[in-house]
Amino acid sequence: MVTEVNAVNFRQNLGEMLNQVQYRNDSIVISKDGKPVAALVDAELFARIRRMRNRFDELSSRFAQAYRDVPEEQGMAEIDAAVAKSRRRKRQR
């Protein structure tokens, strides 16, 4: 479950919110002046997000290297075609 709170409420109820995250695996979105500024998630989820981000950065770098001499429109068209092909294969399973 995702709970949204303002910064003042978060500060006043930090202990309770830590328990929500730790024991119920909830996530807390903290807002300031009505805008989300941070999120509190359990450590396992945070580690997973970091691994996924690292992998994404690695793959992005590989794409950038592979397509560095290809015009942007052509590269994007090739990537879009590969994604569409992959999605069609998944639907056929």
Half-sphere exposure of 32 (CA within 13 A, CB side): 5
> Which range of residues forms the domain containing residue 14?
2-41
Do both 55 and 81 map to the same domain?
yes
**Which residues touch 18 (CB under 8 Å, ≥6 apart)?**
40
Domain at 25, CATH number: 3.40.1620
Count: domains in the chain: 2
The predicted model gives 78-85 an average pLDDT of 93
pLDDT digits (tens, 9 = 90+) for 31-40: 999 999 999 9
| Local structure of 21: helix, strand or coil | helix
Residue 93: band (very low, low, confident or very high) from pLDDT cuts 50, 70, 90: confident
DSSP structure class, residue 39: E
Q: How far is residue 41 from each of residues 2, 23, 26, measured CA to CA in Å?
A: 9, 11, 7
> Given this model, what pLDDT does residue 5 score?
97
Mean pLDDT of the chain: 93
Q: What percent of the chain has pLDDT over 70?
A: 100
